[in-house]
Amino acid sequence: MRGGRVAVVGGSIAGCAAALAAARTGADEVVVFERAVGRLQDRGVGLALHNDRYAELEAAGYLDAGMPWVQLARRPWVVREGTVRAGRQIGVLPFPFRSYNWGSLWQELRNRIPDSVDYRTGATVTRVVSGTDGAVVHLADGGEQHFELVVGADGYRSVVRAAMFPDAQARYGGFVAWRGTLPAGRLPSPPEAFPEQDASTVVFPGGHMIVYRIPGPGGHGTDVNWVFYTSPPAADGLRFGGPTNVHPRAMTSELSEHQLGLVNEHFPPYWQEVIHLTPAGTRFVQPMYDMATPHYARGRLAVVGDAASIARPPTGSGAIKALQDAAALERALDTAGSWAEALHSYDAERAPVGRSTVELGRSLGRAQVQETPDWAAMDQQAVERWWQAAGGGNGFGGRALRGR
């Protein structure tokens, strides 16, 4: 497809990639509606991209080696063992991932969007209405505009997804991630407790924490990013029935005390210090949701990233899936002879991937949080068997992009 006006609702990583896809397929005009007014590059923390998936997206023109990143290689699994400072390693799995700072990756993608794209901040879309010849975007300021195609990259609470499938709602998965970052220079000693290429995973009854290095803000220096998964206390005041973004200052004292209590009870001394050294201002909680739409396109509407399907972070494929969605949409628009043909092709390729990734997230969530094994009784072979049974060998880090 060439020509036409394309709207992208949402301007984060998924939105920037979708805008790039639309511009590269020759749209007459591309408009991005981003509701935030502040600096998106200050948002988010760490993410990791599987080496193989990175190679596909580099070939597709969405990533390159100039974007600040850290190479990871191993994933040691560690349990507390008496007073042993860094704990006891029960097994090691390969972890061929490149880690990124969310804000830096967003900025790099934002810089790739041609100047011809109209990227509007402070532009809130209230609803979208699809018709036979396009779709109308309604804005909070009362304005409305017609486009040949509207792409929803507006995340958990997508307005575009609601227009396509009102009943496709994200559901709370029963556990929460506590997240935090600290400068690598603040790590405790000894240095050999946490080698630079490791994504160390500290495990305990009912959860685990994965921790790895990422580029610092703006690509300067190196930070340590940790994600701690477990079920929250039942009496906590936060309600996780529907999607929400929880601001760092919204973390309740009960949630914080619950995490620190588990850390002090189950973590080796070294990893206790990592948590306690993390500045309070960098911590927040992220409830686990999941959802997959029946289709990724309907009428003249399409969805990408979390607007299309929400998979739990243990799949290691959140950002990958968003970027792959954009690449697949670009290929569909570039090769089809009509809007209907392009969107049918895009949906046929990506909807099954979204569904399978959600199922993998549920399986990994059960194995690593909700139905954890007797970690201390495991060895290398047991860890490998458990990981395969949990589905870790079936799509962890994202599935291959078709045509690459």
Could you tell me which CATH class the domain 70-101+172-288 is placed in? alpha beta
Q: Give the model's pLDDT for residue 247.
A: 46
Give the pLDDT score at 42.
59
Provide the whole-model pTM: 0.94
137 closest CA partner among 110, 118, 156, 112: 118
Q: So what's the pLDDT on residue 156? A: 87
269-277 vs 253-266: helix axis angle to the nearest 10? 160
pLDDT value of residue 253 = 82
Query: Which CATH code of 3.40.30.10, 3.40.50.300, 3.40.50.720, 3.50.50.60 fits the domain covering 5-43+103-170+290-374?
Result: 3.50.50.60
What whole-number distance in Å separates Cα of residue 157 and Cα of residue 66?
32
φ, ψ for residue 159 (rounded to 5)?
-70, -35
pLDDT for the residue 1: 57
Topology match between the domains 5-43+103-170+290-374 and 70-101+172-288: no
Instruction: Spell out the residues 6+ positions from residue 207 whose beta carbon is closer than 8 angstroms to its own.
Output: 175, 228, 229, 230, 231, 262, 368, 369, 372
- Assess contact for 63 and 323: CB atoms under 8 A: yes
Looking at residue 243, its pLDDT comes to 61
Cβ–Cβ under 8 Å, residues 101 and 216: yes
pLDDT at 44 (0 to 100): 60
403 burial type by CB count under 10 A (0-12 exposed, 13-18 middle, 19+ buried)? exposed
Question: What does the pLDDT read at residue 238?
Answer: 56
Amino acid 197: pLDDT? 98
pLDDT of residue 387: 98
Q: What is the pLDDT along the chain (404 residues), one digit of tens a residue?
A: 568 999 999 999 999 999 999 999 999 999 999 999 876 655 668 999 999 999 999 999 999 999 999 999 999 999 999 999 999 999 999 999 999 999 999 999 999 999 999 999 999 999 999 998 999 999 999 999 999 999 999 998 899 999 999 999 888 888 999 999 999 999 999 999 999 999 999 999 999 999 999 999 888 899 999 999 999 887 555 566 666 544 444 567 888 999 999 999 999 999 999 999 999 888 988 888 899 999 999 999 999 999 999 999 999 988 999 999 999 999 999 999 999 999 999 999 999 999 999 999 999 999 999 999 999 999 999 999 999 999 998 899 999 998 65
Quote the CA–CA distance of 97 and 117 in Å, as a whole number: 31
**Which pLDDT score, from 0 to 100, does residue 240 have?**
63
d(CA 233, CA 117): 46
Domain boundaries defined on the chain = 5-43+103-170+290-374, 70-101+172-288
Instruction: Find where tokens 């497809």 sit.
Output: 1
